[in-house]
Amino acid sequence: MTTTSEQLQQVHARIVRACEATGRDPAGVRLLAVSKTFGPEAVRDAFAAGQRAFGENYVQEGLDKIAALGDLRPQLEWHCIGPLQSNKTRPVAEQFDWVHSVDRLKIAQRLSQQRPAGLPPLQVCLQVNIDGGANKSGVTPEEAEALAREVAALPQLALRGLMAIPEPQPDAAAERAVFAEVADLAVRLRDALGLPLDTLSMGMSADLESAIAAGSTMVRVGTAIFGGRPRAGAAAAPAA
């Protein structure tokens, strides 16, 4: 049976190969281990294998895991990567380090207001619905600049870049083309806002190579690290 450590090594090897294929430095791509539906012990196993950044789609599950792993908290980086409702912003602002799924000003304002003053700024990405998927969260590309300007001006938040979860594509070339649209949008936002946006959160277990080829700086990988997930409670969420 393959261990978490071995699976992490395999994912890191995929990242290195993908970077080498496009002339990129592997150090420029971070691995976010998506631990949704897996318990604290799975995170401990990954931690023991050297992983430090973890992503959670479901707020309450993430909060429970953060509490259960309190002894490791100074060494862990927790990312909220799922859709965020207004009534969940306070615990996210208080407990998480990153939020990838900001797609409207109200959510950003609440995160800014509720981020404790004693903590570093909450690192945030705007989620962009790059291909118009009917069931996907995210700001439209056309509205992204206006939202980015407003979010960048909020205290206690640091706007880092963009996140996207494109619809499944028929082949790698089509995957790269959609991811490239996100990368192009990030360049336009950097030029328009004058901000050093440095994060492109895109690519998961099935398509991380295509995302890296298009410029991803953070891939969100769950299945390839932790294995298949139970269908109950996770059926509506895309596989990471």
Burial of 120 (0-12, 13-18, 19+ CB in 10 A): exposed
Could you tell me which residues come within 8 angstroms of residue 208 by beta carbon, excluding any fewer than 6 positions away? 11, 14, 15, 18, 216, 219, 221
Residue 235 lies in a domain: no
The separation between CA 1 and the C-alpha centre of its own chain, rounded to angstroms, equals 28
**CATH number of residue 133's parent domain:** 3.20.20.10
- List pLDDT tens digits, range 110-143: 999 999 999 999 999 999 999 987 767 899 999 9
The separation between CA 103 and the C-alpha centre of its own chain, rounded to angstroms, equals 13
According to DSSP, residue 71 is labeled G
Which amino acid is located at 156 in the chain?
Q
Answer yes or no: are the C-beta atoms of 122 and 98 closer than 8 Å: yes
Could you tell me which residues come within 8 angstroms of residue 122 by beta carbon, excluding any fewer than 6 positions away? 93, 96, 97, 98, 99, 111, 112, 115, 156, 157, 158
Any idea which residue has 């592997």 for tokens? 26
Residue 73 lies in a domain: yes
Residue 198 lies in a domain: yes
Residue 186 lies in a domain: yes
Distance CA 81, CA 204 (A): 12
Residue 232 lies in a domain: no
Residue 148 lies in a domain: yes
Residue 135 lies in a domain: yes
Q: Which of 147, 161, 166 is nearest to 200 (CA)?
A: 161
Residue 117 lies in a domain: yes
- List pLDDT tens digits, range 55-95: 999 999 999 999 999 999 999 999 999 999 999 999 999 99
- The percentage of the chain sitting over the pLDDT mark of 70, rounded to a whole number, equals 95
Structural domain for 49, as ranges: 4-226
Prediction pTM value: 0.94
Whether residue 232 is predicted with pLDDT greater than 60 in this model: the reply is: no
Distance CA 108, CA 156 (A): 10
Please report which confidence band the pLDDT of residue 238 belongs to, taking 50, 70 and 90 as the band edges: low
> Nearest 5°: CA angle at 179, between 176 and 185?
140
Q: What is the pLDDT of residue 158?
A: 98
The number of folded domains in the chain is 1
Q: What is the pLDDT of residue 214?
A: 98
Distance CA 138, CA 130 (A): 8
Q: What is the pLDDT of residue 228?
A: 87
Whether residue 99 is predicted with pLDDT greater than 50 in this model: the reply is: yes
Distance CA 237, CA 231 (A): 10
Q: What is the pLDDT of residue 110?
A: 98
Distance CA 33, CA 47 (A): 10
